[in-house]
């Protein structure tokens, strides 16, 4: 049936279930961006402490997202989905950097109705850090992205910038971040991942300008069901003796509507340990 073809395609494309994590992770990044810009957590704590005596014009003044510039580091599936949400939802302008992704976002990111937004692929990551008002991190984690955001790069960002990380904890030098938050009270951060999970670096929990949540980017009902489906397909496939589909770019067999898609298992994460073909993802 048609649905099976597309489930198969999704499975072959993504063993580590990023396919089902795309929208939910992007939504959390967008949520943290909004919460940080409007200081929602601080205001909630203020109310719960019984400190609210009446409206004041300067009470928890935050940043208006509309017309500001959002920066995306890592323009893959999640980064692209996040950019779409921020641009279509808040009419933000975009600047992004990706070491590999050079495809223009023009058609994808055009906003309709009000004044058109601008978009630009930056020539370097530092350009994004210097220009953007909100910066969301979506790179892979490897030796080139470990502590990608460090003391030097934090210093390049605007004093009232917002930094979001829903990718991998070690992408950010957490100790340097704590110091930056201490000395720049208008700088705000939203974190879903941490350098040494489940622990936070000393001082981070005390920062009023930090929103920290316990790795919940995938915590949506649809995502949990999708991950369970992929796991089940993986097990069933191996029981039936299907080979592992190790090349995520070889999708042509799944796109031919005139023939049945090939029987294959997801590219299993621990394939090497099991003596199976290793994914090139």
Is residue 221 helix, strand or coil?
helix
CA–CA dist 114, 111 (Å, integer): 8
CA–CA dist 109, 119 (Å, integer): 8
Catalytic residue status for 183: no
At residue 24's C-alpha, the angle toward residues 235 and 185, to 5°, is 135
Catalytic residue status for 168: yes
Is residue 214 helix, strand or coil?
coil
Spot the catalytic one: 39, 138, 168, 180.
168
Task: Look at residues 156, 23, 128 and name the one whose alpha carbon lies nearest to residue 70.
Answer: 128
CA–CA dist 87, 66 (Å, integer): 9
Q: What HEC string does 92-127 produce?
A: CEEEEECCCCCCCCHHHHCCCCCCCCCEEECCCHHH
Spot the catalytic one: 45, 196, 197, 225.
197
Residue numbers annotated as active site? 168, 197, 215
């Amino acid at each position: 049936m048609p649905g099976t073809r597309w489930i198969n395609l999704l499975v072959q494309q993504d063993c580590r279930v990023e396919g089902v994590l795309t929208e939910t992770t992007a939504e959390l990044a967008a949520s943290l961006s909004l919460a940080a810009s409007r200081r929602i957590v601080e205001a909630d704590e203020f109310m719960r402490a019984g400190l609210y005596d009446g409206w004041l014009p300067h009470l928890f003044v935050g940043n208006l997202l509309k017309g500001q510039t959002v920066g995306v580091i890592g323009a893959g599936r999640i980064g692209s989905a996040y950019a779409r949400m921020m641009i279509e939802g808040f009419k933000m302008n975009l600047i992004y950097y990706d070491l590999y992704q050079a495809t223009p976002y023009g058609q994808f990111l055009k906003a309709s109705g009000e004044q058109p937004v601008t978009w630009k692929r930056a020539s370097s990551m530092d350009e994004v850090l210097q220009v953007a008002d909100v910066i969301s991190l979506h790179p892979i984690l490897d030796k080139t992205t470990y502590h990608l955001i460090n003391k030097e790069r934090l210093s390049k960002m605007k004093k009232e910038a917002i930094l979001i990380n829903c990718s991998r904890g070690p992408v950010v030098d957490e100790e340097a971040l704590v110091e930056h938050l201490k000395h720049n009270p208008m700088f705000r951060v939203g974190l879903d991942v941490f350098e040494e999970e489940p622990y936070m670096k000393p001082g981070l929990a005390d920062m009023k300008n930090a929103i920290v949540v316990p790795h919940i980017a995938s915590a949506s009902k649809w995502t949990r069901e999708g991950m369970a489906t992929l796991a089940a397909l993986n097990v069933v496939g191996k029981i039936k003796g299907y080979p592992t589909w190790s090349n995520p770019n070889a999708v042509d067999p799944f796109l031919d509507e005139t023939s049945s898609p090939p029987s294959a298992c997801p590219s299993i994460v621990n394939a090497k340990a099991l003596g199976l073909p290793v994914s090139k993802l």
